[in-house]
Structure 1
Amino acid sequence: MSTAHPPTAAEDFAGYLRAYHADAFDGTDPIDEVWSRYHLPDGEHQVNGRNLDRKKILDGIRSRRSLGAPYELYIHEVIVEGRTAAARYTIGTTMLWKVQSATHVTLFAELAEDGRVASTTGFSSSRPGWSGPGGEDPFDAAARPAPGTAIAPPPAAGAEPTPAQDPTHYLRAYYTAGYDPGVPVAEAHDHFHTPDALHHVGGKLMQRSAVLKALEEGRKHGHSYPVEVHRSLREGNRFAARYTTSRDGKPSRSQEILAFGEFADDGRVKLVRFVLDPGYGAA
C-alpha cells in the first residue's frame, strides 16, 4: 500500500526518505509510478561517480522489491538549505538473526519547484553488519536548530569570515593551513577546530593527536591538497559540503568527498565527518 499523502522532499526530506523507501520496497504500486511520485522523471542521478539512467534505477528497485525481505531505515542526518538537501542514512536488510546487509548512503539532492527531487549525487556502499543504527543517535527533526541560529557574532566589514559562517571557507582554509609548513600544525588544527573536536575520516574516528600526526606525515612528504567545493549548505550549527581535493593538484589523484559537520558556539568545528568515495583507489 502506498503512503497516504506522502510528503515531498522539499516539505520534509526525512519524511520523503521514509515514504519513498516504504512505497518502493513494500508497496504494490508500479515502480515507475513510485519513482515519479517523488522524483522528476528526467532527473540526473550519480552514485559513486557513475551516472544512473532511469532504466537502471527502476531495475534496481524492482530487484530489491522482488526479494520480499524486511528492511530497516536508519536516518542519521539531514541538512536542508533552500532547495538543496544532504543526508546520511543506512538501509539494513536482515540476513541471519541480527546480522544484516547494511547499505550506507550519503547524498546531496537538488529539489525541484514542485517539491520533488530533481537530481542527486552521492555514495553508496554495502557490507554485513549488526542490526541497529550502528552506534549513532537516530535523526530527530524536532531537535534541529532553527535555520537562523546564531553561533558566532558576524565579522566586521572586510574581515575574513569565520568557519561557522562559511563551510566553503572552512574547508579551503583548513586544507591550506594544514599542509603549509610555515604554519605550526597545532595552530592549523586549533584555529578551525575545538581541542576536543572529533574527526571521522572514511569511517575511522580520529581525535586531535591523530589528526596532528596525519598532517605532519603529509607535510613530511611535501604534499598539498587544493580544494574545489562544489556545494555547501548550512542549517543552524550544522553544515554539509561536497568537494573534490587532489594530492598536489594532480587530476589523477583527485577524490570526491562529502563532509558533514557541526560548529561550536565560538565558530570552530567540534565534529566533522569526511565520507570518502568508496571507489577511490580502485583499479
Structure 2
Amino acid sequence: MSPLKKIPFIFSDNRWVVPNRELEGIRLTSLFDISLDDFSSYEHDQVIDQSAYGAHILLDMQKEVLEQEDYQLLSMREALAVLSFEEFQHLAKAWQYAIFLRTHRYCGQCGDAMQKVQWEMAMHCYTCGHRSYPRVSPCIIVSIRKDDKILLAQGVRHQRAGFFSTLAGFVESGESLEQAVHREVKEEVGIEVKNIEYFGSQAWPFPHSIMVGYLADYAGGDLVLDKKEILSADWFDIDALPKIPPKLSIAGLLIEETLKRIQQLE
C-alpha cells in the first residue's frame, strides 16, 4: 500500500498559506503543490488528521509573516468563500488545532510547561497531571418566521459589512441548546419563539465555535432591541430582503430554508 500524500496546512500571521494562483482555483488538492522544503526552518507538527486527500500536516508560523512569491495568504473568511463545505471543515479543524497549541503551552492549573500528547490532540502537564483538549464553543443560530415574513437583524459587528442576518449567540453553562435559543432571542430582540426545530450545524473557526442552527416561529411580543448587540431588526417580506449572508454559511442556509417554507404557504 502506497503511503498517503502529505497535505500541509500552513498558517502565517493568522492566515492560511496557499499556492499563488487565482482564488477560484484554490482547493485542498492545491496543497499538494506546496513543498515542505520551502518551510524547512519551521517545525512540522505530527499528522493531525487523515482524509481522502491525504495525511494532514500542521505547520504554524504564528505571527511571522510569510515572504515567498510562490505563496499567498488567505483569511479564513476568504477561504470559506472559495472552498467546498467538506474542504472548509478540514481547514477549520487544522486552524482550531493551531489555536489550541498556541494557547496551551503552559498549564492553566500549575503554570508549568505542557507537552504534546502523541496519540491524540491534547496537551499534558506532567507536573500536576492536568490535560487539555481543543476548545469548542457552541453557539446557537436561529431563523424566525412570522406568517409570511422573516426576522432579520443587523448586529453591531456586521455594521461595516452592511448585511442583515439571523440571530445567534453563545450557549451558557448549564443550559440546553433550546434554552439558549429562547434566551438569546429574548435578550437581543425581546420576543418569544415556539416550534423550535433543529436544522443543522457548521464548524465556525472564528476562532473555535460550532454553530448549531435552528428554525423557529414567532410566539409573541414586540421587537425591543439590545442596542449593545443589535443595531436594527425588522420583519421582512421575502420579496424585499436587505443584504443577507451568502448560502455558504449556515446563516445563509437557514434564511434560504425559511424563505422556502414561506413560499410554500402562498
Compute the TM-score of the two structures, normalised by the length of structure 1. 0.25
Larger-Rg structure: 2
Compute the TM-score of the two structures, normalised by the length of structure 2. 0.26
Between structures 1 and 2, the one with greater strand share: 1
